Structure 1
Amino acid sequence: MNTLDILSIHNTLVRKFQQIEIPSSSFPTTDPAEEYQKWKELYDSLQSKHASKNVVQDIKHKMDTLEKQRQDKPDRTFYFYLLRAIPLLDQYFLLKKSQNKIQFVSSKAEESQLNVGEKMEDIVREYMSIVESYFPQEYTWGQWEEAKEVPTAKPFSNKLKCTLCYSDQESFFIHDNHFVCEKCGFVATAAMHSSISFKDIDRVNISSKYTYDRRTHFRDCINQFQGKQNASIDPKVLEDLIEQLVLHGLLEENYKEMPKSTAFQNISKEQILIFLKETGHTKHYEDVVLIYHQLTDKPAPDISHLENDLLRDFDLLTDLYDKRFKHTERKNFINTQYVLFQLLRRHKYPCKKEDFNILKTIDRKYYHDTICADLFMTLGWNFQALF
């Protein structure tokens, strides 16, 4: 059976044209004219400030790109491609899923597998014909023309190398026991290549651990936003905060004689953050919601109904981030508090940036806004810059 994975080819085309499979009516992409105006206002405001030259140049480049988008007519070719390709991709996905199921060895099972393989071959040929008709230039990527006629994958040599686009081992990543070429989407099972080294296994394990750690950190961030973390606040921290609130006239000296709802009604989380720094308790920044709740008795936010959606969005975002910025100098993921803030806004949850321990400098805010704007646009999500 042809081992060319048309799902990977489709993903390559999606990334190339920066489109989504089904345009979301709930979260339409930002209008270029509206986004251009926002960037122009930012550009004008920075003229009177001492912003770095690189930041100003990047903003000007962004404005020029958006201006070109406003003038260009939208290309509908990609959407015509989707109308014809998506039904085939759905069929291919279901057949591939059934093929991966473990079956008892029998003549009927073998015959069933052969029928599935033949159907998948037919779908691959029809899909490649669609790609050829809509994207004649992209069709030659990775020698897809040759791939149509390849009945089976060629055995890998001792050094892993793509048999379609001839990329070396560094271009492959392992997914679901398959080697996948990042350049052209060629897929081969791990069993076809016997030279997996301990270095390869370590690389996959380290990558998996890094992804797990990021997700765990994000889940912790969700819990902290709701004051649900497993943390014990030293009474000394609360005493120091109350002392500062009284000294600055934000809290009456006889606050103990008053209902908490009255005594602490004008206290904000932003003030708590400031005094945590003043009193040397910066390690409790992440506990600000819990501390605020304990001081004021005001209820903490409840986003339990959004937790699964937020985690799913985070997985999509980090996966795309790794693909986009894998080979850049940037090693660390974007600020997790910033990500939570942007994802909550994506889900229309009312929140203020002051409630999050995020970026302080203009350059850092701009950098994160630029990265996230690119990722959100690719995923078809609405995005609002931090400032």
Structure 2
Amino acid sequence: MKKNTPDIPKHSKKFYNDIKSFKSKSQHSILQKHNIRLDEFQKRHQSFQELGKKIKDIESEIKNMSSNISKDDTTNKTISNLNHKMYKYKSQLLKLLKERDNYSFTDENNYLLESTYIMQEYITLEENELQLLQINDLSMENSASLNEINIKKNQLTDLYLTKFDPNYLLNNNTRKYTLNEKLVCTECNMKYSVENSFLVCINCGICKTTVEQANELSYKEMQEVDYRPQFTYDKMSHLDDWLKRFQAKENRSIPQEVLDKVILETKKERMQNLNTLTEDKIKKYLKKLNLNDYYDNVIGIINRINGRPPFKLTSEIENKIKSMFQQIQEPYEQFKPSGRKNFLSYSYTLHKFFQILGLHEFAKYFPLLKSTDKLRQQDDIFKKIVGHMSQTDKNTKWVFYPSI
């Protein structure tokens, strides 16, 4: 009753493991589509093997029954019962054999043969891209290399989707139309550039995180954004850290031991109401306890101790702050004193931004410099920046608020 059975592709397991071991940097990569396809193949292999085991078990049962029937001491009643069971088993066996015959791995073989070279080349490009993105200050040569890599990845994506996604050609014209809308700044109609984790309009300074964009853009669409040298990455990343800490979104967890030590200090000072805790108080305690490493987590510590809900900025406000920060980079370079290397204090900058946006209740959580001389120096620079921005950006009410 044995029939020829379809062969599971022998090369697929190694190929499956090789591809699975590589983690794409994007959730929208064709590697993700490829892995989904491989998972489907693996499930089919497992189902086929389970079916084969059922067939062997039933064949073994039928063989045992036939042996029992042929025994001399078997009664007619027992033979009748065995024949009835054998009939059921044989019917079940025929059904399973038919199901097995319907299995075909031709589509898998064809897919792997046609996709292997695409995936191997794509992985090589992704590895090269990841290496370039580790460089903090990209040269124009490296930026050109990134653009070339993304052009090639885009071509491979087109090739893969054309071959294996039946809906791709049907939707291609629509995708191109929506792509233009998503990658162009809505304020000035200029194309976004990529500066590490941000989409930035060089013309007007609008800045969006690529994490937010990932909800809207496919991987192929993200490839069509131009890469530029990341001249503001470190600054923008640092600003993002400040905003996260303000909203208690920082990745660093605060050990209970640190909280207990701070609470103990409040008890020593006979503080009756923990709701009166201030950032300055927390910093004083941390300094006394030699826990200076937690200075950046002051707001999170207060929230944990007194149950105060974390501050929350809307995405519009966050994006506006990042946009303003991006916009002042050029005038800062223009107005900073010669020889000055460091940027303005981030706490000072955010204090001023919140004042300009009319959010004075937030500004107070970003303390100004204690040194009068240093504060005056920053005021002098920022006043000139505000004067420049008030002329070039009419969408924001750039107003200078003196610190002294």
TM range (shorter): 0.3 to 0.5
Bigger relative contact order, structure 1 or 2 (CA pairs below 8 A, ≥6 apart): 1
Q: Structure 1 length as normaliser, TM-score?
A: 0.41
TM-score (normalizing by structure 2): 0.40
Task: Give the greater-gyration-radius structure (CA).
Answer: 2
